[in-house]
Structure 1
Amino acid sequence: MVAISKPLPELFFVKPCKPNNNNPPNFPTIPLIDLSRSDSKHLLVKACQEFGFFKVVNHGVPMKFISKLESEAIKFFSSPLSLKQKAGPPNPFGYGNKRLGQNGDFGWVEYLLLNAKLDQKNPPFSIFDENPEKILRIVKDYVTAVKKMACEILELLADELKLKPRNVFSKLLMDEQSDSVFRVNYYPPCPDLQEHETKGKKLIGFGEHTDPQIISVLRSNNTSGLEISLRDGSWMSVPPDSNSFFINVGDSLQVMTNGRFKSVKHRVVANSSKSRLSMIYFGGPPLSEKIAPLPSLMEREEASLYKEFTWFEYKKSAFNSRLSDNRLGLFEKRLEKITTP
């Protein structure tokens, strides 16, 4: 359980938005894509361009991998705080709570952050005295299956964009030096939140941000809380669906497509009565990989919107920023308008 003294500090609350009675938000439908269908390539690209976020079914990840890992994760987060703290503090990997990063971001959350290159040396596995090898195998099975699905999606996107080779994106995740991470977030119920909910306040679980990597694959239980930012600045609640996976376009993929695909800003708000568990695979490139718009994707005389940077440079910049900062802003080119006399 996340321990915070009462009353709840204001820094944990989302500032309520002013209602727009003249133009109430018309929330769209989250794109749902069946990966087994022949039209999935077109729908994937459309979703990446218009939303930067979608959910997939017939994803090929065995449900037994999902249920086993979820069961172990709940068991871990239900453990005494003294035991969980043996797996922390996160530096950067391990167990943490409340504090998100080093720059003043807080949330009503506990988490485990792991290097996707899983081995016995990862701190969380060392605290399981009974059978750490079993826990490691369960996590590996899940991460391997989700990574395969992420690569399939990236290759379908490349096919539809007519990019050669078709693994132009997925090879960055498959590289032995891929800097991918796996995160499990646990949002405990917060009974003290009830009185604030009646006033329209929401408790921050994980503050608004975009994902800096190439692609993110999210699976959560049946508790709501995930919200995405729409183009008009309003926030839309994403209905939970424990049988599907939600996919986020990352900042790096937005750059590689020269802005064609959109990295969506999202956040999680806490619940007063139910816990929420989410498991996220963040597919990242090798640290030395240069990130820039793909020349094969650029149309004639199309200007690059971004400066070239390495993943290490962008990761370092993101680590030194607040969650809500426009982290890509530092790498955008300021294109000057050319006027004729």
Structure 2
Amino acid sequence: MVVLSKPTIADFPPIINCKSTTLFPVIPTVDLSEPDSKHLVVKSCEEFGFFKVINHGIPLELISRLETEVIEFFSLSLSEKQKAGPPDPFGYGNRSIGPNGDVGWVEYLLLTMNQERNSQKLATIFGKYPEKLCSALNDYVLAVKKMACELLELMADGLRIKPRNVFSKLLMDEQSDSVFRLNHYPPYSELQASNGKNMIGFGEHTDPQIISVLRSNNTSGLQISLGNGSWISVPPDANSFFINVGDSLQVMTNGRFKSVRHRVLANSIKSRISMIYFGGPPLNEKIAPLPSLVEGKESLYKEFTWFEYKRSAYKSRLGDNRLSQFERTAAT
């Protein structure tokens, strides 16, 4: 296996630091081999907006094959990787997260679900046929997309919503605006941090899509917010997946499910690799609370299209509350 080298300060200039929590409470865990896991899925989405999935059925060989290819990519020289950039928004980027000044101790490769476009982007580095990486990507994404749809249908079952594909059909749609992100958080030296604080790899934010499926190597760093100013450090588990509720799912459930605020702290000892599938709806899809979840209650959000939300989010900073302008209470 290729070992990632530690970048120089010139590659990744110092950025703002932050204090981390030392709390390690139990993270909700959903066993997909259990026949009645839907209730735990719903409870986890309501209380945390986040949970771990075990016994998911995705072969570990498929996972490790992609990780090997990803490590090989991020082990290339900066000049080689930059051939797949700058991100438009797809492609290779480092430090800069979005167009509005957010930075992190991270380099990344953001990919569309369009295989041909990905091949064209990666061919600039790996030659005319970047088959190994593209094949590993395709197999992995198909598997995690299937699992994401299964989880969304469990959520519908737990909420007693019909039809049970009310969420999953948006990911299965041919026009689904889903994306895939590969992140590499290089280790940092003590000289690059100060006052005993930790380096921010990826600042606090929520995911705007419906659902996020994350898998990382066996390196700590991911934290989720409890909403009261404190953070939970998530113990790493290279064989499991972690699920985030996104902003769109929070809206569709009329706030019953919580879009989890999370961040990543870089590690001073070893690299962290994460692979995230962001399941999004088609651009013209109207996002609004489902009628069955509003009966006898007030609708908390105005209707908007996914395109309108993406356009709004693109203009915001990473830590902004992107849903605020779509809340009905904010409009009155």
1:220-274 Cα deviation digits (max 9, x unpaired): 0011000111122101111000011000000000000000000010000111110
**What does residue 260 of structure 2 align with?**
264
1:325 corresponds in structure 2 to 320
Question: Are 2:98 and 2:314, in contact at CA under 8 Å, matched by a contact in 1?
Answer: yes
Equivalent residue, structure 1, for 2:96: 99
2:290 and 2:253 map into 1 onto residues whose CA distance is 6
Alignment of 1:15-26 (within 5 A): 16=19
Residue 167 (structure 1) aligned with residue 165 (structure 2): yes
Specify the SS of the correspondent of 1:160: helix
**Cα distance in 2 between the residues matched to 1:92 and 1:163:** 35
1:83 to 80, 84, 89: 80
CA contact (8 A) 2:24 2:234 kept: no
1:312 correspondence with 2:307: yes
CA distance in 1, matches of 2:7, 2:310: 28
Cα displacement string for residues 184-235 of structure 1 (whole angstroms, at most 9, x for unaligned residues): 0000111245763xx3311110010000000000000011000111122101
- Correspondence for 1:182: 180
Number of the residue aligned with 1:225: 221
State the 1:26 CA deviation: 6.6
Matched residue type, 1:334:
T
* Distance apart, 1:61 and its partner CA: 1.3
Counterparts of 1:85-164 in structure 2, within 5 Å, are 85-119=82-116, 121-129=119-127, 131-164=129-162
The letter for the 1-side match of 2:81 is K
Aligned-pair Cα RMSD in Å:
2.1
Q: Look up the SS of the partner of 2:204 in the other structure.
A: strand
Where does structure 1 differ by over 4 angstroms across 4 or more consecutive aligned residues?
A: 5-8
Correspondence 1:45 to 2:16: no
When residues 37 and 106 of structure 1 are mapped into structure 2, their CA distance, relative to the original with a 3 A threshold, is same
Task: State how far apart, in whole Å, the 1-side matches of 2:107 and 2:7 are.
Answer: 7
CA contact (8 A) 2:102 2:318 kept: yes
The 8 Å contact of residues 24 and 233 in structure 2, kept in 1 or not, is answered as no
**1:102 alignment partner, SS class:** coil
Question: Of the candidates 1, 5, 17, which is equivalent to residue 13 of structure 1?
Answer: 17
Residue from 172, 179, 196 that aligns with 1:200: 196
Q: Distance in 1 between matches of 2:254 and 2:77?
A: 47
Deviation at 1:110, TM superposition (A): 0.6
Deviates more, 1:62-71 or 1:184-193: 184-193
Shift of 1:5: 4.4
SS of 1:261's equivalent in the other structure is coil
Distance 1:3 1:85 in 2: 16
TM-score (norm 2): 0.93
Deviation string 1:283-330 (CA, Å, 9 cap, x unpaired) is: 000000000000022232x11001110000101111110000011111
Change (3 A) 1:58 1:6: closer
Partners of 1:69 and 1:26 in 2: how far apart?
32
- Any idea what SS the aligned residue of 1:212 has? coil
Which one-letter code corresponds to 2:320 in the other structure? Answer: D
Amino acid at match of 2:229: G
Deviation at 1:4, TM superposition (A): 3.8
Percent of pairs identical after alignment?
68
Following the alignment from structure 2 to structure 1, what is the Cα–Cα distance between the partners of residues 312 and 293? Answer: 26
CA offset digits 1:64-91 (Å, max 9, x no partner): 1100000000000001111111111100
What's the secondary structure of 1:186's corresponding residue?
A: strand
Matched AA of 1:54: F
Q: Residue 95 of structure 1 aligns to a residue in which SS?
A: strand
Residues 94 and 122 in structure 1, CA contact (< 8 A), matched pair in contact too: no
**Partner of 1:28 in structure 2?**
25
Partner SS for 2:323: helix
Which structure would you say has the larger Rg?
Answer: 1
Matched, 1:56 2:53: yes
Q: Does the Cα contact within 8 Å between 1:259 and 1:305 map onto a contact in 2?
A: yes
Q: Provide, for residues 83-106 of structure 1, a one-character-per-residue CA deviation record: whole Å limited to 9, x for no partner.
A: 111111100100000000010100
Does 2:71 align with 1:67? no
- In the alignment, the residues of structure 2 paired with residue 260 and residue 36 of structure 1 have an alpha-carbon distance, to the nearest angstrom, of 25
Contact 1:31 1:47 in 2 (8 A): yes
How far apart are residue 129 of structure 1 and its match? 2.4
Distance 1:3 1:319, change over 3 A: farther
Instruction: Specify every segment of 5 or more residues in structure 2 that has no aligned partner in the other structure, as ranges.
Output: 1-5
Q: Report the Cα distance in structure 2 between the residues aligned to 1:305 and 1:56, rounded to whole angstroms.
A: 30
Superposed, 1:244-263 pairs within 5 Å as 244-263=240-259
Indicate the residue corresponding to 1:276 in structure 2: 272
Contact 1:193 1:272 in 2 (8 A): no
- Partners in 1 of 2:285 and 2:88 — Cα distance? 23
Unaligned runs of 5+ in 1: 20-24
